[in-house]
Each structure stands twice: as structure tokens, then as C-alpha cells.
A and B are shown apart, each in its own frame.
Chain A
Amino acid sequence: MASPSQAELAKSLAMAQQELDYRVDLFNRMTSSCFEKCMDRRYKDGELNVGEHSCVDRCCAKYWQVTGIVGQMLGAQGQGM
């Protein structure tokens, strides 16, 4: 099989960059949302207590699931066009 053309390589690099941007954005939004949902904003302490730890873990899991559902639905919509 012939080696990929310049155009194909440029395209795969661009895709990789898009993927990276997307993941960074996802992480930042997850961090921000779960901070707002889980943290005691009175800041009595710099440490996270046990409740906050659990909340963060569950928040991340749920956020990830939402990402999956939305991904499926947006994907399905794309195919219906």
C-alpha cells in the first residue's frame, strides 16, 4: 500500500489537534461543573473532606455518562440529515 499523501497526513494531524482541544475542554468543564456542585464554598479548610471526595467521584462518573448520551444523540441526528 502506498504511503499516505501529504494531504492525508496534514488531515490526520489536524484531527489529532481537534481531539486534543476537545479533551482539554471536556476536562476543564468537568472540573468547573463538579467544583460548583460539590465544594463547600465557605472554604473552612483547604482539604477536601470525605463527602466532597465521594461527590467529585460520582460527579465525574455522571458527567461522563452525560457526555456519552449526548454523543449518541448528536451522532444519530447527524445520520438522519
Chain B
Amino acid sequence: MEGMENLPEEQRDALLQKIEELQVRDSLRTYNSVVERCFVDCVSSFRSKNLDSTEEKCVSRCCEKFLKHAARVGMRFGEMSSQSEQQMQQMMQQQAQQGR
């Protein structure tokens, strides 16, 4: 993560620890939200206690689709993030030069 090299070691460790906690929390939340989304989209009849094969297939595809979608968003997010970062740095450099 940018700027992390500037922090002293114990702060860095604390931050890494925090990042790991956030990752765990985020995974659990994603789990629940995918379940809910696929349930809402795929299951609509309650004549039986068990999912029928249509519903099962639907849930599998829904899950697969969401994961692939999230991966693609992650890719674009990373690209746009680093682009913004570069633009910010350029702007700051320009401002610093003008300040001289």
C-alpha cells in the first residue's frame, strides 16, 4: 500500500494486521451477500423443502457469475486507482515546482 514504507515497523505491523482483519471480514460479508443475491434471484417456489435441479444450477451459475464479475471490477478498480494516483502525484509535482 502506498505510503506504508514511511511508517515505523510496529505501525506497519499493526496496519498489516488490520488489513488481514479487513480481508477476513470482507470475505465473510461477500459470502453472505452472494448467498442472499443468488437466493433472491434463483429461488421463488416453496412447494418443497429442497432445491430442485433448476434452482441448484441457477445458484451455481449465479455464484460463478458474481465471482467473475467481481474479479473484473477488481481489475478496473486497480487500474483507475493507480491512474488517479499518478495524476495526483503529477499535480503535486507541478504545484511544488510553481511554488519555487
Contacts and interface: CB of A to CB of B under 8 A. Distances in A.
Interface residues of A, number: 33
Contacts of A12: 7, 11
A48 B7 contact: no
Contacts of B14: 13
A34 B73 contact: yes
B15 A16 contact: yes
A31 interface: yes
Contact of B69 (A23, A24, A35): A35
Given A43-B42, A44-B61, A35 B66 contact: yes
Interface string A38-75: 11010111111000110011001100100000000000
A77 interface: no
B7 A13 contact: yes
Interface of A: 9, 12-13, 16-17, 20-21, 23-24, 26-28, 30-32, 34-35, 38-39, 41, 43-48, 52-53, 56-57, 60-61, 64
